[in-house]
Structures are given as C-alpha cells and as structure tokens.
A and B are shown apart, each in its own frame.
Chain A
Amino acid sequence: MTDATMPTGTPRKASSSELVAASLKRRRRKQTRLQWIGLGAISIAFGMLFILVASLVSSGWTAFTQTHITLSVYVDPEEVPLKRLPRGGFDDVLAVSVAKMLPGTDMSVRATAKSVEGILSKGAQFKLRDMVVADPGLIGQSVTLKVPVSDPFDQLNKGLIDRDTPDEFRRVKNTEIAWFDTLKDQGAISKPFNWALFTNADSRFPELAGLKGALVGSFWALLTCFLIAFPLGIGAAIYLEEFAPRNRFSDLIEVNINNLAAVPSVVFGLLALAVFIGWFGLPRSAPFVGGLTLALMTMPTIIIATRAALKAVPPSIREAALGLGASKQQVVFQHVLPLAMPGVLTGTIIGLAQALGETAPLLLIGMNAFITSAANSPFDSATALPTQIFIWADSPERGFVSRTSAAILVLLGFLVMMNAVAIYLRQKFERKW
C-alpha cells in the first residue's frame, strides 16, 4: 500500500482527497499494466499450444495419404516358376513392368534397373508374392496391381522435396524426377487415404510402417491397467472414505497414496523392471507388465477421484438408508456408490487417459522393441502408442517425421475422445444436491 500513503513532506493545503485523486491515475495505470502482463502470459500459453498443434498438424497430415502406383504386371513364368513358389523374382517382375511405362530406360544397365526398382516400396514384391501364392493360376498372366511407392518418391509427390535444389544434394535425382513425372502423366500415380497407417504394424520402411501393433499393445496394456486399478482403486477409496477408523494406520495409507501420486513415472518403471521382470520373471516387452505398472500409477488418481465423488453424496442419503435398517455396507454399495458412479467413472477415464500417454515406464520394461506384428495376447511382445512415437522420432528416415506427427495426432485424438466421454458423463449424470 506504499502508493496510497501520504508523503509526510507535502504542503498542508492539499487535502487528502486531492492527493488521492492526483495519484489515482498512476495507480490505475499500474493496475492496467498488471492486467496486460496477465493477458500477455495467457497469450503466451495459448500461442505455445497453437504452435504445438499447428506444427504437428502441418507435418503430420501428409502421412494420412500415401502415394500409390498402379501397375499392369505380367507375371513372367521365367522369373516366377510355379515350382519355386513362394520364392521367385517378384522384384524383377515388378521392375520390368515399371520400366515398360518409362520409354527409353535400358534395364540391362544395372544402375538404371536398380533405381527403377527403387521407385516401388520394398513391400510391393511381397504383395505380389502373396497374390500369386494365393492363386498360382496368375503365373503367365497380367495383373493390375496398386502398390505404395518408396518413401523418397512419396515425399516428392507430396511436394516435400524441393525440385530446385542442385541434383547432388537431393535424394531423388533428376532422371528419377523425370520418370516420376512420366508416370504421373500416364495417370498411374494416385494418393489415396493411408489405411496402412492403421492396418500395418511397424516396419523399417516408412511407407509401410503403421500403428496397428502399437494400437493393439496400448489396448492390452490399458485393459490390464483398468482391470487391476479400477477394482483396487474403488475398494481402497470406499474403505478410506466410509469405513476406515481415524487412526495412524489410515493416516499412513493416505500419506502413502498422496506421495505415490507424485513419484516420478520413471521410478515406477524401475520398480517394474526390478520386481515384475527381475524377480517374478514376467516376460519383457509384454503389455501385461506395462498394464500392471500403469495400474500402480493410475490407482492414486482413481482413489482420489472416487473419494471426492463419495464425499459429494449428501449424508441424508446415508442416514435415510440406515434409518430403514440397511447395514453400513448395504448403504454404501446399494445407495452411495451408485450415486457416486458418474464421478468415479469420470476420474477413471481421466486416469486411463493419463496412462495412455505414459511413456517412460514402458520404455524401461522394453516396450520399445521393434516388432513387426500385432500382439495376440497381453503376454506377447508389443509396443504402445507413446513408445511407438518415441521409436519413430528416433528413426533417421525423413518419412518417419510425418509418421511420428501422424501417430501423435492419433494419440491426441484418442485422448480428446476419452476426455470428451468423461466430460459428457460428468455433465449428463452428475447431480447437484
């Protein structure tokens, strides 16, 4: 209040109200300045969120489409003899059919043949192989096939490679660009929605890498987490809120839960590594172990939310039920808990959303392995969405940058969905007493 105190040396004739009036402008200005600083702080936070989302969207949206090439492939019996199936020169067959569309390429020159083959994704030959193995009658016939192009050409088609940079600094050479343009002029190039992002598992090649393995792994981990943390959390919360005597023991439990909520997540990873994997001998990289670890971390969140929801149910409900002769447990399980359920579910979903984004403990138990198939059970090796993001962010190929952003967008999509469900539940079912 230094501004408002009257300086002692002022002349007598100025009354205090005049003094105040004189200083008021300055003091108001000070307040306005404070307001502007506050607004500035909020806009910094908003700006950061905007930059975050904008940079992810701008680098990630291209991964939602994938450049494909439509080929008419003659399955040459010379290259793919029936008796050698499933082996055969499928890559050569494909390369020849690409070369047919490019007039003037000499496939007998080794370097040319190699770069023509490089237009196609490495996965193309396997697609053709699977088709031929499924129907050997295709040998000696022509098939129309739509396969992904390799990552550099995908980037080129999406305009991410600058055609003006000098040839020697570019991943795609001038001749290759010319080929690609020829193919494009023939209408062979298309850019459909990238379903492979959701139906493929991980791969070394960005154009083939997908999130299926990660999504399945996250699903198993979250399911395990829910099945363990939900009953344990609710049980603990009911006990602490409704039944526990106020003594040192329940105080100890309470302090413990509050502290667990603030323990760094990487410490839970160390616990899981030493106890679950080291001592119990559970398998590494398994979503089950991940879910177990996440359950320990989610439990405090569920306990705290459940206790708040139980507390919000007015005592009159309890007293009425008790008065009608219900036992203490009947009161809780038949009246209080159903009324508190919306709050409990909201807290659980928010806890699970946090668990979905948790990365560090999963890294320590090895859920960052390179696995090219989706897990069939919670005990198979798998990755999870956040660890997949971490793996891709570490990969040097250019194509993985947009894949990583796309994976993040998928993860954020799931989080937004879960939170939206939580908010909906809260608004629809929560009662004000």
Chain B
Amino acid sequence: MSALPFLLLIGAVCAGYILNRVAAKSIRDRGDRLHSMTSYHGLFSALLILVPVLTFILFWLMLQGPVIDRLVMAGLPDGALGERGAGATQLVLAEIKSLSRGQVFGSPEEWKVAAASHLSQLHQRADWLLIVAVAALSLLLMGLARARVSADFRARQGVEGIVSGLMVFCSVVAIFTTIGIIVSLSYETLRFLKHVPLSEFLFGMNWEPQIPLREDQIAAAGAFGWLPVFLGTMVITVVALVVAVPVGLFSAIYLNEFAPRRLRAVVKPVLEILAGVPTVVYGFFAILVVAPAIRSLGQSFGLDVAPNTALAAGGVMGIMLIPFISSFADDALSAVPRTLRDGALGLGATRGEMMTTVLFPAALPGIVGGVLLAVSRAIGETMIVVMAAGLIAKLTINPLDSVTTVTVQIVTLLIGDTSFDNPKTLAAFALGMMLFLVTLMINIIALRIVRKYREAYD
C-alpha cells in the first residue's frame, strides 16, 4: 500500500519522458529544426513531474501520522480523557493504535474501540487520497510539460536549470544537518535548564542522574553537575593520548624517513586496517582481553584495580588513535619542503639530526593539529567507553579507578527510556550539547592550525 504512490510516480515519470520525447521526435520528423535534442524534451517532462510529486509524497507521509493522531484525539467523546496529563494522553493514543492493529489486551472501553476503528478508517482514507492526489498532480504536470514541446522550446536550459537547483539543494543538506543538530540540541537543553539551573549543571560537583519515580519518594533528588563526568572524560582522553601520541609519532617518523620502501608498503595498509576496525570491536577487546590483563597485573603488584578501570578504556582508545595520529604526522612531515631537508643534510647533519632538529619542528604545527583532532575524537568516542568504562561519576584523576564519560552517560540515560519530559533524558541532550560545543571548538582550532601551516609552505 505504501509503495503504491511511489510506483505510480515512477510510472508517471517514465510516461512523461516517453510522451515528450515522441512528441519532439514527430516535430523533428516533420522537418522542423529542434532547439534541444529529443532526450532533453523527455528529461524535462520527467524532472518536472519527479521533483514536485516526490516532495509532495514525502511531506504527505511525514504529516499524515501526526495529523490523523490529532484528529482521532479530537474526535474522542467529551470527558473520556478527563483530567489526564500529557503522558497519560500518549498512553491512550498508543493503546488505540495497538487496538487498530488488532492487538487486543483485556477488554478495552467502548470509546477506545470506536476510536481505533476511526483511526484505521482515517488511515485508509488518507492512503486513497494520497494515491488520487499523486495521480492528479502527475497528470497535471505531464500535461503542462507536454504543452511546452515545440521546435524552439529550450528544453536543455530547462533541464539544466532544474538540475542546478537540485545540486544546490544537495549541498545545502549539509547546512540543514548542522542547523538540525544545533536546534534540536539547544531546544532539549533549554527544556533541561527549566528543571536544573545552568550554574548547577556547569559547576556542580555531583552527577547522580536520578529522578523520583513517585512524588513522595525520599532521597532521590538527583544531582546534575557535569564536572565529574567531564573530568572522567579527560582522564580517559589523557590515558589514550599517552598511549597513542608516542607510538603514533615515532612510527610516523620512522616510516617517513628511515623505513625501507617495502616495509612502508606493508605497514601503511596494516595501520589502515587498524583505523578501519569498528569501535564496538575495540570495546569488546577491552572487556575480553585488556581489562582482565590490567586487573591481574595490578593485583600481582598488590594494587586495587577497578574491574572497569579508566586505564583499560583509555588504553584501548589509544590503540584506536595510533593510526590516526601516525597518518596525520606522516602527512605533516611529508609536507615540509624538500629544500629544508636537503639544506640540513648538506650542512652535515645525520638523518636523525635532520629529523629531530629541522623536519620535526617544521612539521610541529601540523602534528599539533592532528593531535588536537585526535583529542576531539577521544572525547566523542562512544562504544569503547560504553563497554569498558564505568557508570558512576567520581571526582577522581586516578586512572586505576573507574570513571564515567560524557558519551557513556548520554547512552545510558537514553537507552530504553523514551519519554522526553523528565530531566533524566533531557540531561543527555544537555551533555550532548556540551560535547558538540567542546569538540566543535577543538576541531575549528585544529583545522585552522593545519590550514595556516599548510599555506605557509605553499
């Protein structure tokens, strides 16, 4: 049923193409000189039908559900809902929907059954209406396009105009995405700030995202200060960088200057494999191998290591970042002009000295940019920490302890909980907003450093 409008559209597009093309051909066969090739006449008709009708179908499908829901709720008998809150109204709606799907639990009230049949009736009517509308619109557009066919109709210009418009639309999608992120995050964050004051969120030292389930529940007030969560993120990020930066940098230095060509040909793809491993795999690796290893190692030294220590999550994240840093450093080193290299060697420096005293300092801005991008990756990385880091926010910088991160909290607060009106789920959006802002800032700085440095040598 839901595929029918699309099939209809495809049919109309093909018909429009053939119709116009045949018409243009017959004009040409009469001996007139066409301005545009016949295929452009056909394409013009196809595009003229496709773009508006497709937009129409998508909008219809998007609005159909909410509009029908509203109609059904408005059609309920007076007093049936009574003095219910928004959440209860949602529940009633969900019950009516499952009734209309034929899933009956217990014996529902009379008016609910009536509403359910009303709902399915409306849906059926909407489906038919859509098909009729699509057919009518397609025919109308087909007629319009057909009327335009003539010897000196500039079909090519018409087609190219539509195509340019489509291409501009494609590139604007990126802007829409960014706007969508900012708007949705700030909207939910503002709702969160109605429950929790901004100062408490930004400077609070406690993160206990609980909400009272009942009004009279004691000791479940909850605290929403993001500092301990952010500190945990920083601890894990630092651990990751301690692993990734030296390993990544030294392998880049070796690969760039000293490695024989055949070794380089092997190492580069292997590092790319390491970069292509999904993070959920790294997360499982952390809980399967690394965390137990660190724990037993710590116990052999008599240290008390938490089962989900920051060291395991950070260390594995470091492994994930090695290829990232090494490829960035390699690029930065390769971008240093040959003349600097040759100059240093010509003055009698060994290759090692040339690397440490000339190449490396010259490439340093690019490398710093790469490391900053790695930092933003580590802060935003989710699966490794969700699987291997802890859940409870502690104000500690001990890497052997268990800490939690911003991304872990976002995921745990949102998994399984769908209602959008309590501070617990809204807190996830506030954390997401902070995450977005912090990573955006780091990214902008990093990209600026990288770009500026590149310009200096070009």
Given known contacts A31-B351, A264-B439, A364-B414, A389 and B184 CB-to-CB distance under 8 angstroms: no
Determine whether the beta carbon of A35 is less than 8 Å from that of B443: no
Nearest residue in B to A36 (C-beta to C-beta)?
B254
| Interface hits, B243-277 → A, CB 8 Å | 246-251, 253-255, 258-259, 267, 270-271, 273-274, 276-277
Task: State the CA gap A51–B270 with chains docked (Å).
Answer: 14
Determine whether the beta carbon of B174 is less than 8 Å from that of A260: yes
Interface of B is mostly: helix
Determine whether the beta carbon of A267 is less than 8 Å from that of B278: no
Determine whether the beta carbon of B181 is less than 8 Å from that of A240: no
What is the distance, in angstroms, from A325's C-beta to the closest C-beta of chain B? 12
Determine whether the beta carbon of B383 is less than 8 Å from that of A359: yes
Contact count band on A: 35 or more
**Which listed residue (A52, A235, A236, A274) contacts B429, Cβ 8 A?**
A274
Determine whether the beta carbon of A264 is less than 8 Å from that of B278: no
Chain B residues closer than 8 Å to A38, beta-carbon distance: 250-251, 253-255, 258-259
Confirm or deny: B289 has a beta carbon within 8 angstroms of a beta carbon on chain A.
yes
Interface of A is mostly: helix
Chain B residues closer than 8 Å to A408, beta-carbon distance: 280-281, 284
**Which listed residue (A3, A20, A239, A368) contacts B171, Cβ 8 A?**
A239
What is the distance, in angstroms, from A21's C-beta to the closest C-beta of chain B? 12
Confirm or deny: A56 has a beta carbon within 8 angstroms of a beta carbon on chain B.
yes
Task: State the CA gap A28–B443 with chains docked (Å).
Answer: 39
Confirm or deny: A27 has a beta carbon within 8 angstroms of a beta carbon on chain B.
yes
Q: 1/0 per position for A261-287, CB-CB distance to B under 8 A? A: 011111110110111001111001000
Chain B residues closer than 8 Å to A3, beta-carbon distance: 353
Task: State the CA gap A363–B352 with chains docked (Å).
Answer: 48
Determine whether the beta carbon of A256 is less than 8 Å from that of B178: yes
Determine whether the beta carbon of A34 is less than 8 Å from that of B323: no
Confirm or deny: A393 has a beta carbon within 8 angstroms of a beta carbon on chain B.
yes
What is the distance, in angstroms, from B422's C-beta to the closest C-beta of chain A? 14
Determine whether the beta carbon of B180 is less than 8 Å from that of A275: yes
Chain A residues closer than 8 Å to B288, beta-carbon distance: 55, 59, 401, 405
Chain A residues closer than 8 Å to B20, beta-carbon distance: none
Given known contacts A232-B173, A329-B163, A265 and B352 CB-to-CB distance under 8 angstroms: no
Chain B residues closer than 8 Å to A368, beta-carbon distance: 415
Q: 1/0 per position for B401-433, CB-CB distance to A under 8 A? A: 000000100110011001010000000110010
Confirm or deny: B160 has a beta carbon within 8 angstroms of a beta carbon on chain A.
yes
Chain B residues closer than 8 Å to A262, beta-carbon distance: 373, 376-377, 439, 443
Determine whether the beta carbon of A412 is less than 8 Å from that of B185: no
**Which listed residue (A266, A386, A389) contacts B380, Cβ 8 A?**
A266
Determine whether the beta carbon of A40 is less than 8 Å from that of B250: yes
Confirm or deny: B348 has a beta carbon within 8 angstroms of a beta carbon on chain A.
yes
| Interface hits, A265-321 → B, CB 8 Å | 265-268, 270-271, 273-275, 278-281, 284, 296, 299-300, 303
Confirm or deny: A116 has a beta carbon within 8 angstroms of a beta carbon on chain B.
no
Confirm or deny: A413 has a beta carbon within 8 angstroms of a beta carbon on chain B.
no
Nearest residue in A to B163 (C-beta to C-beta)?
A329
Chain B residues closer than 8 Å to A39, beta-carbon distance: 254
Chain A residues closer than 8 Å to B397, beta-carbon distance: none
Task: State the CA gap A377–B184 with chains docked (Å).
Answer: 28
Confirm or deny: B100 has a beta carbon within 8 angstroms of a beta carbon on chain A.
no
Task: State the CA gap A59–B281 with chains docked (Å).
Answer: 13
Given known contacts A262-B376, A264-B382, A270-B428, A389 and B254 CB-to-CB distance under 8 angstroms: no
Residues of A within 8 A of B (CB): 1, 3-4, 20, 27-28, 30-35, 37-42, 44-46, 48-49, 51-52, 55-56, 59, 231-236, 238-240, 243-244, 250, 252-253, 256-260, 262-268, 270-271, 273-275, 278-281, 284, 296, 299-300, 303, 327, 329, 353-354, 356-360, 363-364, 368, 386, 389-390, 393, 401, 404-405, 408, 411-412, 415, 419
**5 more A-B contacts (CB under 8 A) besides A1-B357, A28-B352, A49-B270?**
A41-B246, A55-B285, A253-B174, A262-B373, A357-B281
24 examples of A-B residue contacts, CB within 8 angstroms: A1-B347, A27-B352, A30-B350, A31-B351, A40-B250, A41-B246, A41-B247, A49-B270, A52-B319, A55-B288, A59-B288, A239-B170, A262-B377, A266-B407, A271-B180, A274-B429, A275-B180, A357-B278, A360-B382, A364-B411, A386-B278, A389-B281, A401-B288, A408-B284
